[in-house]
Amino acid sequence: MTAENVTAADPDTTVRAPVPSERRGPSSSAPRMLWGLVVLVAVSALALTTDGFVSVANARAILSSVSFTGILAVGTVVIMLSGNLFSLSIGTSAAVSSMLFLYLLPDVGFVLAVLLTLVAGYATFALQGAIVGRLDGNAIIVTIGAGALQVGAVTWLLPGSVQVPDGVDIGFLTRSVLGLPFPLYVFLAVALLVQCWLHYSATGRQVELVGENKAAARAAGLPTGKLVTVAFAVAGLCTAITGILLAGFNQNANLAVSGTFTFDAIAAAIVGGSSVIGGRGSAARAVLGAVIIATIANMLLLRGFGTGVRVLVEGIVVVLVVVAAQRRKRSIA
């Protein structure tokens, strides 16, 4: 029955991985707009009736709380765009970067510590990217494995908790500038840079092509292995940046600071509307997703709901967005 529906495309793409993206043609926008309108009205109604939600201070609070998750979400989106799902150890890596940064700080000074942490983040992720991209290793296995290795190595080699050395002030990493915290500016700058990289550089555009259709990209002579490696490496840079900012915020670093970052970052990336199997996504969408999740969490907090409900709603939103995004794709096709 369904046999006729299957197109005779290249055999390497599975049924689950259709490739259309918005760029491929005009969408039938009427039902989509209706949906958007309904959601918008519902959210506004909730927002207006939530005590203390509509205020400058609250908007600032929401924005301030998204920086760390947001940067990791940008990194996650880049991995998704390359067609390799996500890293299931990005939070761990951020904590490890944070520890490494503080560990290096007393010996090499601030600038070199930042650079070395970035290099380490870049290298750790590039290595994972190479296994995924060049050898077709699976991203889920590789990132979980790499996470466990990092936890093991760090517990073995570094002290369990690294302090800011006496006499060094890295407090500016977390201070307010013009009323907004410094990490927020870093987040927006990272998002902007990655957005530009994806859109205007040849490498960035090629990464997206690999994610859209790997077989086609390979057939077209693109260095798919290298591109996936680069995509992971960019995520590694994002992770290292988050780690450094976390060190500034916590004034100390240990593995526990990874908290719920991994799933929060993936959730933000998905809720922004990026597809986990590539073909659709951008840094701007990651920003959007992070802000949406933070806004919902904020609204629930103001309405007096506990942590459990906040997490429950986050999960439901992720599922709804995944379903909605797919319906849209089908209606285009």
Select 284 or 314, whichever has its Cβ closest to another protein.
314
Q: Which residues of 52-85 are buried (b: 16+ CB within 10 A; e: fewer)?
A: ebeeeebeeebbebbbbbbbbbbbbbbbbbbbbb
**Using CB under 8 A, which of 27, 58, 203, 332 touches another protein?**
58
Instruction: Based on the shown chain and the rule CB under 8 A, indicate whether residue 245 belongs to the binding site for another protein.
Output: no
Shortest CB 136 distance to another protein, Å = 4
Structure tokens at 208: 């997206």
Instruction: Based on the shown chain and the rule CB under 8 A, indicate whether residue 21 belongs to the binding site for another protein.
Output: no
Instruction: Based on the shown chain and the rule CB under 8 A, indicate whether residue 149 belongs to the binding site for another protein.
Output: yes
Q: Which stretch binds another protein (CB under 8 A): 14-22, 70-78, 103-111, 190-198?
A: 14-22
State the amino acid at position 22 in one-letter form. Answer: E
In angstroms, rounded to a whole number, what is the distance separating the alpha carbons of residues 76 and 85?
A: 8
Give the closest residue to 39 by CA, choosing from 324, 329, 331. 324
Shortest CB 93 distance to another protein, Å = 12
Q: For 31, how many CA atoms within 13 A lie in the half-sphere containing its CB?
A: 10
DSSP string, 86-117: --TTHHHHHHHHHHHHHHHHHHH-HHHHHHHH
> Number of residues in contact with another protein, rule: CB under 8 A?
109
**Using CB under 8 A, which of 26, 30, 156, 200 touches another protein?**
156
Instruction: Based on the shown chain and the rule CB under 8 A, indicate whether residue 174 belongs to the binding site for another protein.
Output: yes
Structure tokens at 128: 């994972």
Shortest CB 141 distance to another protein, Å = 4
Report the site for another protein in 218-237 (rule: CB under 8 A).
218-222, 225
Shortest CB 333 distance to another protein, Å = 11
Q: Are 230 and 207 in contact (CB under 8 A)?
A: yes
How many residues are given for the chain?
333
Q: Are 162 and 102 in contact (CB under 8 A)?
A: yes
Select 269 or 283, whichever has its Cβ closest to another protein.
269
Instruction: Based on the shown chain and the rule CB under 8 A, indicate whether residue 34 belongs to the binding site for another protein.
Output: no
**Using CB under 8 A, which of 47, 145, 168, 193 touches another protein?**
145
- The enclosing H or E element of 252 equals strand 252-254
DSSP string, 22-84: GGGS---HHHHHHHHHHHHHHHHHHHHHSTTTSSHHHHHHHHHHHHHHHHHHHHHHHHHHTTS
Select 101 or 314, whichever has its Cβ closest to another protein.
314
Residue in this structure with the two tokens 């509307």, named with its chain if needed: 273
**Using CB under 8 A, which of 116, 188, 313, 332 touches another protein?**
313
Select 193 or 223, whichever has its Cβ closest to another protein.
223
Instruction: Based on the shown chain and the rule CB under 8 A, indicate whether residue 57 belongs to the binding site for another protein.
Output: yes
Select 191 or 293, whichever has its Cβ closest to another protein.
293
Please list the helix, strand and coil fractions of the chain in percent, rounded to the nearest 5, in that order: 75, 5, 25
Report the site for another protein in 192-221 (rule: CB under 8 A).
209, 216-221
Q: Which stretch binds another protein (CB under 8 A): 25-33, 103-111, 232-240, 320-328?
A: 320-328
Report the site for another protein in 80-139 (rule: CB under 8 A).
85-86, 131, 134-138
Give the closest residue to 199 by CA, choosing from 263, 283, 320, 133. 283
Report the site for another protein in 266-295 (rule: CB under 8 A).
266-267, 270, 275-277, 294
Shortest CB 15 distance to another protein, Å = 5
Select 194 or 265, whichever has its Cβ closest to another protein.
265
Structure tokens at 316: 């439901």
